[in-house]
Each structure stands twice: as structure tokens, then as C-alpha cells.
Amino acid sequence: MKILMTGATGLIGTQLGIELVKSGHQIVVVSRSEKKAKSVLPFPCQVIEADLMNSEISPSIDFIDAVIHLLGEGVADQKWSESQKEKILKSRTLSTQNLIRSFKVMPKIWIQASAIGLYGDRKDEVLSESSSSGEGFLADVCRQWEAGADLAEEKGAARVVKARLGIVLSSQGGALKKMLFPFKAGVGGALSSGKQWMSWIHIEDVVGLFKKCLEDNTIHGPLNFVSPQPETNLNFSKKLVNQLDSFLGPTVPAFAMRLLFGEMADVLLGSQRVSADKAIEFNYQFKFSELQQALKDVLPSAEESMEYFQSQQFVQAPKAKVFDFFSQAENLEKLTPEFLNFKITSKSTEKIEKGSKIEYQLKVHGVPLKWKTLIEEFKAPDLFVDTALKSPYQTWHHTHLFEELGDGTLITDRVIYKLPVGYAGWLVGGAFVKGDLNTIFDFRRAQVAETFKIT
């Protein structure tokens, strides 16, 4: 199918796009910046440059089989001022209206994101897709959001699905990323009574359910995107600290939450015990039904103060060619920002292979450092792994993965690292290091794009 996606550069969109391409689908992405989208999207696609917040797409779109509409301002990105609330609402309602007006002929399938915030605060009540909507700002946003999907049906979409998303668990962002620092620092605790229900879902099951909705013509209307086993806030907190090898901090009282977050605290303190029975009735097989299993997968480095970083990029070039470029040590200099003054000083072998040792020097924030790397694993043209024998890190383990995707190659970098001085080093320098890694890999993506001529 030819599928149009909005919100493709977000947490869900990037992973969903990869899986849809693997399944043989052709992807068209709507983005405000074509150049930026092509540089960050980790899958092959056509990009239409348009700002759906302000206007419809021009000229009108033809020949789209399905829409997956994910666009929307993050509800927990900042405190809810009146202007931010308006932005949250309009990013969903206006974008949907403009997207609908962009089609000469409506696609047959319209799959639109929504959220379990529709149900409001419902204590211990088990909530199914037939449950009534609740009260509050977020519930109102979801009602108006879903009304856009109803309009798509009125305009001619043969099958409309409203994906009511729960709390998405991923190593790459979302709610869990915001929770990690206090819980790893040992000050994260249950919110208020801790009795409120948290309906969560692993990112792989989010992607799996979207694919199921796309491919199963019997699915129509609202569908809860949640795991079959919701947890109370207290139990969620306990299982999180267990995976992090940390300990539970003091309970955070409701009044403190309201002082910190204002009206948004009502969402954080609300209880939604949402059922996944409808997804199960449609024969969806959850990969992650139990929370501890899901946390173990998205937080692979459970050891205290260990950190995980991932970067992905698609290039329209053969895998063997891409692998060959990355496996030449001298190209590391091309991929490293100038401010690091990166220079290779010695290599134990002319070409990188298993057992190769590479020494180099660099500067981090002006401080000269020496680094020595061992190539621990080398399987051309699929992967190689380097481990730091000498570096400013206590642990540095970098896996380079190369995978055929569509007419090109998906490059994935996965780094597990630990700062020196253990917990104290992480507490003091963790945020700075993450910022540095983002800067370095942003530069690397730009250089790779230039090398393989991503246009």
C-alpha cells in the first residue's frame, strides 16, 4: 500500500515507518521541512513539505491507500499555560481538518492517533472502548481530536480507526525518559496515594497494533493501545526501581505535583484502568504483556549509572558500500566534529577486523584525552562492535549495525556507557554527556548524508 504519515519524525513514527517499509509498503511523509525530515527519518520515503497547522497540502494529493495521522503537540512537554493548551488542541484539530481537505479522493483507510486521556480520571473502573469519555482538558482535546476522524469517515474514508494510546515505553523517549533521572537518582517515588492505574504499552506493541489496524479490514472505530496488564502507580514505581537497581524514593504528595505542574498534574495523578480485550479479540498477540519484561527490554543496562544511547539513519546506498565506509578507521575523523580534535595515532591492523586495536587522541571541552579501542566483533557487512580499553568512560561499548531496508541501508548505532566515579559521575555529568552525544551524532548524520548524497 501507499501510506501517508504525519508525525513521522516522532517516537512512534520513526519505528513504525521502518516496520512498514520492511513489510513492503511505500511511505509518503508530510513534514514542515523536507530537508530535515530526509536527514532524520530512518526509512526511505517521499516527503511532502507542508505545515498542516496553517494550511492544507497544495496541490491536492492523489493515489493514497491509507493515512496514519500521528501529528500532535506533546501534552507533557511543558507546563500548561493557556497558550500551550491552545497549541495542544489546535495541533490536533486543525492539522486533521487541513489533512482531510488535502485529498481529491479520500483514502480508504484512515488511522488516527488519540489517547486514553479521553476517559479522564476513573479510579478503579475498567475502561473499554465503549466507556464514556471523561472530564478535563485532555479528555476534551481527545473528543475533538477523534471528531476529526469522524469527519474523515463522513468525507469518504471507508474504514476509520482511532488509536487510543496509553503510556508508551521506549528506550528512545516518551514518558519513561522523563521518569528515569529521579528514579535512577533514588528520589523517584509513587505519586500521591500510588493507587491510580497506569495503562502502558511497549513501543513494539504500538507498532504491531498500528500494522494490525492497517492490514485487518475488520478493525474499525476506537481501539485501546494498552497492554493487557495495567499497573498501579506504586507497583509501576517499584518495578522501575527494581530494573534500575535503584531504590524507591519518598511519596510525592498531590499538592507538590500541582505546585510543580499546575493543571497538568491532574493527568499525572489521574487513574485509567484501560482494557486491552478488544485488541486480543482481534487476535493481536502482545509481545510484552507484563511490565517487568517490558522494562527489561527498554532499559537493557540495569546496572546503576549505566546509560544507553541509540541513533538511526537511512541512506540510499547498498549495505556493503555503507559498511565498507564505516569500517575504515580513517573515516572516523570525517565523522567527528572538528571541536573534538580527533586524530588516529595508531592501528594494529591495516583494515579493521576482529581483534584490531585503534588508538586516537581527542579533546573533550578542551581537555586532551587518549582513547584505545578493541574491535570485539566484526561480521561484514552486518555489524561490528568496539569496546574502549582506555577512555574517559568507565565503560564504553558501541555496536554498529547495518540492515537492508527498501532500496538502501538502515544504520543503527547503539552505545552502552558508564561514566567514571560511578553514581557520582552519572549524577554530575550525565546530562552533559548526553548533550555531547546528541551533538556528535547529529554531526555524524549530516556527514553521512553528504557522503551518500541524501537529497
Q: What average pLDDT score do residues 72-99 get? A: 92
Cβ–Cβ under 8 Å, residues 342 and 354: no
C-alpha cell at 34: 523536507
Q: How far is CA 274 from each of CA 117, 226, 244, 440, rounded to the nearest angstrom?
A: 10, 7, 26, 41
Q: Give the chain's mean pLDDT.
A: 93
Rounded distance, CA 150 to CA 162, Å?
9
pLDDT tens per residue, range 59-74: 989 899 999 999 999 8
Class of domain 2-298: alpha beta
pLDDT tens per residue, range 400-409: 999 999 999 9
pLDDT score at 351: 87
At 303, the pLDDT band (50, 70, 90 cuts) reads: low
Q: What average pLDDT score do residues 249-268 get? A: 88
Angle at the Cα of 126 from the Cα atoms of 123 and 127, rounded to 5 degrees: 100
Phi/psi of residue 94, nearest 5 degrees:
-65, -40
Q: What average pLDDT score do residues 178-188 get? A: 85
> What's the CA dihedral at 32, 35, 41, 42 to 10 degrees?
170
At 175, the pLDDT band (50, 70, 90 cuts) reads: confident
Tell me which fold the domain 306-451 belongs to. Alpha-D-Glucose-1,6-Bisphosphate; Chain A, domain 4 (3.30.530)
pLDDT at residue 300 greater than cutoff 90? no
pLDDT score at 262: 87
In the 8-state DSSP scheme, what is residue 173?
Answer: B
Domain ranges of the chain: 2-298, 306-451
CB count within 10 Å of CB 27 equals: 24
Query: Which has the minimum average pLDDT: 206-215, 304-313, 432-441?
Result: 304-313
Q: What average pLDDT score do residues 317-327 get? A: 95
Strand 273-274 with 126-127, pairing: parallel
pLDDT score at 326: 94
At 11, the pLDDT band (50, 70, 90 cuts) reads: very high
Q: What average pLDDT score do residues 250-262 get? A: 88
pLDDT at residue 360 greater than cutoff 90? yes
pLDDT tens per residue, range 108-157: 999 999 999 999 999 999 999 999 999 999 999 999 999 999 999 999 99
Q: Give the contacts of 153 (CB within 8 A, at least 6 positions apart).
A: 110, 160
Phi/psi of residue 415, nearest 5 degrees:
-120, 130
Segments in 108-221 forming alpha helices (H): 137-154, 175-184, 203-215
Per DSSP, the residues of 113-136 read EEEGGGG---TT-EE-TTSPP--S
pLDDT score at 304: 58
In the 8-state DSSP scheme, what is residue 252?
Answer: B
Query: Which has the minimum average pLDDT: 137-141, 180-184, 380-384?
Result: 180-184
Q: What average pLDDT score do residues 438-445 get? A: 94
Q: What average pLDDT score do residues 367-386 get? A: 96
CATH fold match for the domains 2-298 and 306-451: no
